């Protein structure tokens, strides 16, 4: 899976660090979600999935670079499962 980071400010070292920390929280959560939705009927390593991450507004959405049939399969539950949890809060 690939992430497109949307940052409001210049990407300084603290912004880059925040993106890295966020990716470590997002990857396992999104991977579990995708495993629950796909039973081997998509790319096995989830490399065909692209996500946009808006760090300012603290929101993740499925990029239109993801195949349309995959988007359709996950779009209804994605916001609840991924954005409905406190991923952006400092742990």
Contacts of 6 (CB under 8 A, 6+ apart): 52, 53, 54, 55, 56
Model confidence over 4-27: pLDDT tens digits?
999 876 767 888 898 999 999 999
Phi first, then psi, for residue 50 (nearest 5°) are -125, 140
DSSP H helices in the chain: 13-37, 68-78
Q: Where are the domains of the chain?
A: 2-83
Hey, what are 28's tokens?
């396992």
Q: What is the pTM of this model?
A: 0.84
Nearest by Cα to 1 from 40, 44, 36 = 44
Helix (H), strand (E) counts: the chain: 2, 3
Model confidence over 26-75: pLDDT tens digits?
999 999 999 999 876 677 789 999 999 998 888 999 999 999 999 999 99
d(CA 89, CA 23) in angstroms, rounded, equals 13
Q: 84 or 31: which carries more pLDDT confidence?
A: 31
d(CA 30, CA 74) in angstroms, rounded, equals 11
């Amino acid at each position: 899976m690939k992430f497109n980071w949307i940052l409001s400010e210049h990407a300084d070292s603290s912004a880059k660090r925040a993106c890295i920390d966020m990716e470590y929280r997002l990857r396992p959560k999104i991977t579990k979600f995708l495993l629950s939705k796909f039973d081997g009927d998509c790319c096995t390593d989830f490399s065909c999935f692209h996500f946009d991450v808006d760090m300012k507004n603290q929101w993740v959405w499925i990029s239109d670079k993801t195949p349309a049939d995959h988007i359709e399969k996950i779009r209804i539950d994605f916001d609840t499962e991924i954005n409905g949890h406190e991923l952006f809060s400092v742990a």
